Chains A and B, each alone.
Chain A
Amino acid sequence: MTGLPLSYDVGSVKRTQSPTYGVWGLRFVALSYLVLFIVVPLVVIQVQGVRYGLDVFWQSVVRPEALSAITLSVYTSAIMAVINTVAGTLTAYVLVRYKFPGKRLFNTLIDLPFAIPTLVIGVMLVVLYGPQTAIGKFFTSELNFRILFATPGIVMALLFVGYPFVIRTVQPVLLQMDASQSEAAQTIGAGAWTTFRRIIFPAIRPAIVTGALLSFARSLGEFGSVIVVAGNIPMRSQTATVYIYTQVEAGNMQAASSVSMVLLLIAFSITVGVDLLQWRRHA
């Protein structure tokens, strides 16, 4: 059945091969699975968010604690995205372009954030920058710079979580790039920087943007590492997810739903943006 034409001409009568019961069955199972685990939670949050009317929804979004939590999440995720876009593009370039000892190990290690519980990332950062270590002491008492329970700690955690995204979207594009173009540019005397800026960068730009957007969306929803590193200080180190968590624990469903809805809307617009980018590239 698969691969065979679904409709074919036999003489003048056009016959269509209809899917068998088995195919219908599999389709039913697959779509129910996607609906139950993806559509239902999505719908539940939207309905719950506006259940008591748009007024109530809006009021619980503009509460100072809620606004400050959403702002903090967007702000820290944006800083992370900028830093990791630069670092990730460089890393991908170095990994594809240069031979160096330990490269395989390094390439393997980049996926660490996908393999490690993010809560553990938070614990590691607390140990590293806590008052009991030399680094922690140096920053808090010498420089009077708070990392833990403050914005820098959140950014550090997000940097860890978001590092692989840009690398893993840019790397395959660089690998597939035709070497002849950049080599031609260099033969006619273009410097390495000019070659990168004029030939390589335009080719990898869509991949960079995709990776950056994905890492940003992922960071907005990050919880495990952030709650450990930042604690839960309203108006100061409470991110949107930590705010939602706190409101659910307190039985404050409306507050939780409204902020959830806002976060989902942002994340959703980003995925749509990424899809449009992919679509434009393939079109």
Chain B
Amino acid sequence: MREISPRSPVAIVLIIVVVAYAGLLFIAPLVAILQGAFADGLEPVLAVFTDPRVQHAFQVTLILSLIATAINAVFGLIAAWVLVRGKFRGKKLFDALVDIPFVFSPVIAGYALIVLFGRDGWLAPPIFSIVFALPGILLAKVFVSVPFVIREVQPVLDALTPEQEEAAYTIGATRFTTFRRVILPEIWTALLYGIVLTFARAIGEFGAVSVVSGNIEGYTETATSFVFRALNDRNDVGGYSVSVVLCLISLVILVLMSFLRGRIVRRGN
């Protein structure tokens, strides 16, 4: 379908309706939270971030989200490759399974971790704890963001023609060299896009994390759980300020997403 300049009144009304809907839905809340956080000026906001518990919460969130993203990038890439190139029975079933975390409520995922690794869990670990500790948060973050890398890389891998790979093998390249020099450059943008989506999902996760982490202040409390507790404790400035920083992070992520998608579209995928 071709893009045209709106000339009829109906077209203009349609554009206004759509932009107004999105504005009410997205922009009004964004403006509101900025106003809420800076209601008493900049100083109380800055004070929030000198609080060691807030700094610790951000540290936990960022480090664990990075590890979860790395895990899902490596294994997601392998899974995408196996699901595209492999020939084995049950491949369709495994492929269908990948979408499940999209509709699996994070709270239920967190609960499954408790059933498995909790105090009376099926696999309660004898030495170190997983639930109400950092490993549980990591597992929760990994679970909720499994599909992204797989689903972004799969179509690009699928569209690659085998000739180049075969040529590389013919001139004696090993599998690893072929992957690094032939396949990786082709899928690089899609992989990065998947990684950005994974990171966004991991950093923002609250439901699963809040169930498994126990929200122990200064230990397992993440940025989102801090916001939740701050609201319950009537520490509005604290909750709003951390929310604003999380918003800023997501706006950066959004810009990255748009940039990468532009490159993917231009490559014709």
Contacts and interface: CB of A to CB of B under 8 A. Distances in A.
Interface in A172-198: 174-175, 177, 179, 182, 192
Given A34-B98, A123-B243, A271 B103 contact: yes
B5 A98 contact: yes
B15 A94 contact: yes
Interface residues on B, range: 35 or more
A10 B9 CA distance: 70
B106 A223 contact: yes
A43 to B, nearest CB: 9
B81 A30 contact: yes
B204 to A, nearest CB: 3
A123 B239 contact: yes
B14 interface: yes
Contacts of B49: none
A91 B104 contact: no
Interface in B87-145: 87-88, 94, 96-116, 122, 142-143
A96 B169 CA distance: 43
Contact of B14 (A34, A90, A107, A108): A90
B244 to A, nearest CB: 9
Given A114-B197, A256-B111, A94 B18 contact: yes
B165 A120 contact: no
A224 interface: yes
Interface string B1-24: 111111010110011011101100
Closest 3 CB pairs of A and B: A3-B162, A221-B105, A117-B204
Interface of B: 1-6, 8, 10-11, 14-15, 17-19, 21-22, 25-26, 28-30, 32-33, 35-36, 75, 78-79, 81-83, 85-88, 94, 96-116, 122, 142-143, 146, 161-163, 165-166, 169, 175, 197, 200-201, 203-207, 210-211, 223-224, 227-228, 231, 239-240, 243, 246-247, 250-251, 253-255, 257-258
Given A98-B3, A127-B35, 19 more contacts: A1-B175, A4-B166, A26-B78, A27-B88, A41-B108, A87-B18, A97-B1, A98-B15, A111-B254, A115-B200, A115-B253, A115-B257, A118-B204, A120-B227, A124-B243, A127-B29, A244-B107, A245-B211, A271-B100
